[in-house]
Amino acid sequence: MVNQQYVDAVLAAGGAPVCIPVGLDDESVDRVYATIDGLLLPGGDDVAPSRYGGKPNAYLGDVDEARDELELALTTRAFDDDLPVLGICRGIQVLAVAAGGTLYQDLPTEFPGPVRHEVREFGRKHLAHTITLEAGSRLATALGCTVARVNSFHHQAIRDMPDGFVASARSADGLVEGIEATGDRFVVGVQCHPEELWSATAPEFARLFKAFVDAARQRRLDLRSSA
């Protein structure tokens, strides 16, 4: 499933969301992929450790091998085609793994520290902690700030950064909270859930969705002009 909040955020930013279900055959995936101008990777279950050379530990949550297969394949394809990509929560982790990075399977046991990253008991709009953004990064430029408050309900996160990416945001304990590809590509991931925040709680995140949709629109225009 895809939460309605993702759909609403893309619509409000001027995009037309197309949901890609798990279970399509290759020809159907090709046809859907040919219609999209950007790829949004939403939140969800844990990424299987086998995807980044790891072995499951006792605290690994649910995994969906079919979803991993689809999203990693689409992400790799998007990299090759310079398709704009926005990864959210699980999505930032898929971005990292697709590019060769690794993950913490469980933060409380592998990255203990002063910041609680799994606080969903307070609600999806609860601003749990602060992140610091790198000045001049694509993420900071989109949000218009270098410090932001975010919601937080994840127990996995990026361990080893992939080549070709930089960490554009971190929490106070040093955990990566945002990444982006180097160069001119719009490939951005955030560990929080901005789809829950953009409309009222933290309206600066509306600008992130707009930046993503604008990048997708520009790619479409560029392709038309070069045809």
Please confirm, yes or no, whether 192 is among the known catalytic residues.
Answer: no
Residue 26 near residue 77, CB atoms below 8 Å: no
Which of left, alpha, beta for 115 (phi over 0: left; psi -120 to 50: alpha)? Answer: beta
- For residues 83, 18, 208, 107, the Cα torsion angle rounded to the nearest 10 degrees is -90
Residue 120 near residue 102, CB atoms below 8 Å: no
Please confirm, yes or no, whether 155 is among the known catalytic residues.
Answer: no
Which listed residue (89, 117, 155, 192) is catalytic? Answer: 89
Residue 72 near residue 97, CB atoms below 8 Å: yes
Which listed residue (71, 177, 180, 195) is catalytic? Answer: 195
DSSP-assigned states of every residue in 144-173 = T-SEEEE--B-S-EEEEPPTTEEEEEEETT
Please confirm, yes or no, whether 195 is among the known catalytic residues.
Answer: yes
d(CA 189, CA 139): 9
Which listed residue (154, 180, 193, 196) is catalytic? Answer: 193
Give catalytic residues, as residue numbers.
89, 193, 195
